[in-house]
Every structure is written in structure tokens, then in C-alpha cells.
């Protein structure tokens, strides 16, 4: 189910679909290309700024489209490197978009590498036990314009203080589908959005700098492998045996490791690049050295990099983050076995950066914007 607004947002159109509507309305097709140029290269926020378009065409655009289908209601900056936007959609649902800055040594903030983490659903149906996005269940899928708009909001905020040779280029370096929701459960939106981001007339953003993170929908992983998009794939593994993974992620009962691993392998072979396995470390649940040993086997089989993430406490959930000593012992097993591994040291803990947490808190407050149920 996708929310259908009265007027669509311009961010949902492709050059082809916009051209078709423009021609149908009696205008020349090149008006569509000019419009996209204003939207994605000059990144204006209203029709009247599109100064080389005739007034009656701008009126036509205004009558048929809105710009942003999502408006910021909160902009929270943590004192480290993370900034979180809480956006309200037209049906008053809330979604989150996070900007993560990784400063480059010695060159200051203006040159930091920026990663944008986008949401693709309101809530999530998969109910992983460590994740705030799943706590309130699933509300609806986002449409492509609602995902593209998240990136355009960030882009316009960052444009002013980002140094880049070509000002038409987006003001961030990577996009990750790791916010709220399961990207492969909203497959059509995912693929349409990536095509808009990737297109020369769109953001012209390289697919290689886009990462899709999934909890492991095996059939859709295989489908994405055949889609002809050079995106990266990250798998939320979090358990290296079925017994442990099923305890953490209910999806494992539908697609156990015996189905997930071959699907991931098919993706890896079709793309020829390293996959990423995400592994949240939760004390006494999945941080034992036997799990590390099983993880070594999976990483080798898939030619994958492992990203260990110390569990971020979610209010209302019992679990704890292991001590640094336990985290290090786990990582050491992987390193010794020659597996490529990193451990994420915290970013944005003070603004509830683990996915879904800011929305959950805001919805729980009395003064939160009213939501439709």
C-alpha cells in the first residue's frame, strides 16, 4: 500500500514520464528536461525560480505537482557527527533521515565525507528484536518521491557549506538504505528511486555509492541481483547460526541461512564486489566466540566484509551492549581468520541514531504532531 496524495510530487517523475505528461498537455518535450535541470542540478524549491520556463508552463507545473511531499519538523544535531531530520509526510506520518559526517583528517568539516541514511517505509513489519523501527509495527510504504525528497532536503541544507568542484553535484558522498523500513519489501519504490538518483537528468549519483541494506528477503535479493543496478548490498545478519538468528530476527524462520546465503552469493557473483555483513553485538545473545567462528565461515563463503556494530540501547528492550573487552575478543577471531572486519565506534548515540528511535520518542510525546492511524 502506498499513500496517494491529491497532487503528486515532481520528485516521483522520471524524465520519460514527465515528458509524456508535458507533451500530452501540449508543451514541447524539452520543457521536461529543463524542469529536471532546475529540480536536480540547481535544486530550486519553487516553480517561479525556474526563470527560463514560460509563465504558463510554470502555472501548469504548479497546477499538477507539488515540490516536497515531506516537511522537516525537527532537525537534531548531535555533538559528534550525526544530524537527524524528522520529516512529516502529507498524511502526517513521520520518517527519519540521518546525515553522518566522517571528518577527513586535517581538512575540516567542509571536506568531511557525508553519508545519508534514508527511510523507505513508515515503521517496519519485520519486528527484529533489537530495532526501534519495528516496535510500533508497519504503517505504509513510501513512494519514490518521498524517498527522493529526503535526499533533496539534505542536499539543499548541505549545499551552502560543502566544497565541490561542480556545484550541480550532490553535496554528499554515499546513500544508504538503512533508515526505517525494509527496502526489499518496498521493491518497486526502491528500484524507481535508485533509477531517479542514478539518472543523468536526476541526481546523477553513482549506483556504486548506494548501499541497500536488507534483513534477508532471499527471493528479492536474487531479483535485485538481476536488475542491472550496480548498487552495493549489506545484509543484516546479526546471528551466524539459525538458532541465534531466529531469536533476534523473526524473518529467519521464513528465510533461514540455507536460503539467505545462496541468494547473497548469487548477488555477489552477479556484481563481483564485496558484500557487507552487519552484525550487531548484543551481550550474551550473539557475542560468543562460537558465533564469531561461524561468522568467519559465512564471510569467507560470501567474500564479505563484516561490520560489527555495538548494540545501541533501545528504550523498552532488555538487551545490553557488551563490554569493549568482549567486543574486541569477538573482532579478534575474525581478524585472525583473515576476514575483513571493522567495528563501528559510536556515532550519534546522543540523538538516538539507531534507526526508528527518534520517531518513536517523538510519537510518544504529548506534543507530537497528530498522526492518522
- In whole angstroms, the minimum distance from the beta carbon of 142 to ligand SF4 comes to 13
Per DSSP (E only), the strands in the chain are 70-77, 82-89, 94-104, 108-117, 121-123, 138-141, 174-177, 210-214, 232-236, 275-281, 304-310, 341-343
The sign of the CA dihedral 196, 201, 204, 207 is positive
Q: Is 96 among the residues known to form the active site?
A: yes
Cell 559526517 identifies what position? 101
Strand partners, 268: none
Instruction: Give the nearer residue to ligand SAH in terms of CB position, either 53 or 154.
Output: 154
Strand partners, 75: 85
Locate cell 556494530: which residue?
309
Cβ contact 359:119 at 8 Å? no
Per-residue H/E/C for 200-268: CCCCCCCHHHEEEEECCCHHHHHHHHCCCCCCEEEEECCCCCHHHHHHHCCHHHHCCHHHHHHHHHHHH
Q: With respect to ligand SF4, which residue has the nearer C-beta, 129 or 303? A: 129
If contact means CB under 5 to 8 A according to the sort of partner, which of ligand SF4, ligand SAH, none does residue 134 touch?
ligand SF4
How far apart are CB 130 and ligand SAH at their closest, in Å?
5
The option from ligand SF4, ligand SAH, none interacting with 279 (CB < 5 to 8 A, set by class) reads: none
Q: Which is nearer to ligand SF4, 32 or 308 (CB)?
A: 308
260 or 280: CB nearest ligand SAH: 280
CB 167 within 8 A of CB 108: no
Cα 335 versus chain centre, distance: 28
Q: From 155-163, 212-220, 325-333, 335-343, give the range in contact with ligand SAH by CB under 6 A.
A: 212-220
**19 interacts with ligand SAH by CB under 6 A:** no
Query: Which one of the listed residues 13, 308, 355, 363 is annotated catalytic?
Result: 355
Closest CB 329 distance from ligand SAH, rounded Å? 19
- Residue 308 annotated in active site: no
Q: Does 236 bind ligand SAH (CB under 6 A)?
A: yes
Q: Work out how close the CB of 157 gets to ligand SF4 at its nearest, in angstroms, rounded to a whole number.
A: 24
- Residues between 83 and 142 that touch ligand SAH (CB under 6 A): 130-131
Residue 302, all three cell numbers: 560470501
Which of 13, 96, 146, 278 is flagged as catalytic? 96
Rounded to the nearest angstrom, the gap between the alpha carbon of residue 284 and the centroid of all alpha carbons in its chain is: 29
CA angle, corner 165, sides to 160 and 169, nearest 5?
A: 65
Based on the shown chain and the rule CB under 6 A, indicate whether residue 309 belongs to the binding site for ligand SAH: yes
Minimum CB–partner distance for residue 129 and ligand SF4 (Å): 9
User: Which positions are annotated as active-site residues?
Assistant: 96, 355
User: Residues interacting with ligand SAH, by CB under 6 A?
Assistant: 130-131, 178, 182, 213-215, 236, 278, 280, 309, 311-312, 314, 354-355
Amino acid at each position: 500500500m502506498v499513500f496517494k496524495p491529491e497532487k503528486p510530487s515532481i520528485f516521483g517523475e522520471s524524465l520519460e514520464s514527465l515528458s509524456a505528461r508535458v507533451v500530452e498537455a501540449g508543451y514541447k518535450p524539452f520543457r521536461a528536461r529543463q524542469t529536471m535541470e532546475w529540480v536536480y542540478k540547481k535544486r530550486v524549491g519553487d516553480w517561479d525560480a525556474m526563470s527560463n520556463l514560460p509563465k504558463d508552463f510554470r502555472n501548469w507545473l504548479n497546477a499538477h505537482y507539488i515540490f516536497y511531499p515531506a516537511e522537516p519538523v525537527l532537525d537534531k544535531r548531535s555533538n559528534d557527527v550525526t544530524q537527524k531530520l524528522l520529516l512529516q509526510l502529507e498524511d502526517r506520518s513521520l520518517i527519519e533521515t540521518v546525515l553522518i559526517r566522517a571528518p577527513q583528517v586535517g581538512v575540516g568539516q567542509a571536506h568531511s565525507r557525508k553519508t545519508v541514511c534514508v527511510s523507505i517505509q513508515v515503521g517496519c513489519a519485520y519486528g527484529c528484536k533489537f530495532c526501534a523501527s519495528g516496535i510500533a509495527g508497519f504503517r505504509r510504504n513510501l513512494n519514490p518521491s518521498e524517498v527522493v525528497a529526503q535526499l533533496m532536503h539534505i542536499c539543499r541544507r548541505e549545499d551552502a557549506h560543502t566544497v565541490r568542484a561542480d556545484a550541480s553535484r550532490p553535496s554528499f558522498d554515499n546513500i544508504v538504505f538503512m533508515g526505517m523500513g525494509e527496502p526489499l519489501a518496498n521493491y518497486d519504490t526502491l528500484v524507481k528511486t535508485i533509477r531517479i538518483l542514478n539518472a543523468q537528468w536526476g541526481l546523477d549519483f553513482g549506483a556504486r555509492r548506494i548501499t541497500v541494506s536488507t534483513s534477508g528477503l532471499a527471493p528479492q535479493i536474487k531479483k535485485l541481483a538481476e536488475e542491472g543496478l550496480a548498487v552495493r548490498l549489506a545484509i543484516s545478519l546479526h546471528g551466524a547460526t539459525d538458532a541465534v538468528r531466529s531469536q533476534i530476527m523473526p524473518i529467519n524462520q521464513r528465510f533461514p541461512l540455507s536460503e539467505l546465503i545462496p541468494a547473497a552469493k548469487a548477488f555477489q557473483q552477479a556484481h563481483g564486489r564485496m558484500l557487507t555483513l552487519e552484525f550487531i553485538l548484543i551481550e550474551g545473545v550473539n557475542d560468543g566466540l562460537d558465533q564469531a567462528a561461524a561468522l568467519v565461515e559465512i564471510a569467507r563463503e560470501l567474500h564479505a566484509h563484516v561490520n560489527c556494530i555495538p548494540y545501541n540501547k533501545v528504550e523498552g528492550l532488555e538487551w545490553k551492549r557488551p563490554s569493549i573487552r568482549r567486543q574486541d575478543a569477538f573482532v579478534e577471531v575474525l581478524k585472525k581468520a583473515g576476514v575483513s572486519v571493522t567495528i563501528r565506534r559510536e556515532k550519534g548515540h546522543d540523538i538516538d541514531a539507531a534507526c526508528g528511535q527518534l520517531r518513536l520518542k517523538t510519537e510518544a510525546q504529548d506534543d507530537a504532531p497528530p498522526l492518522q492511524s
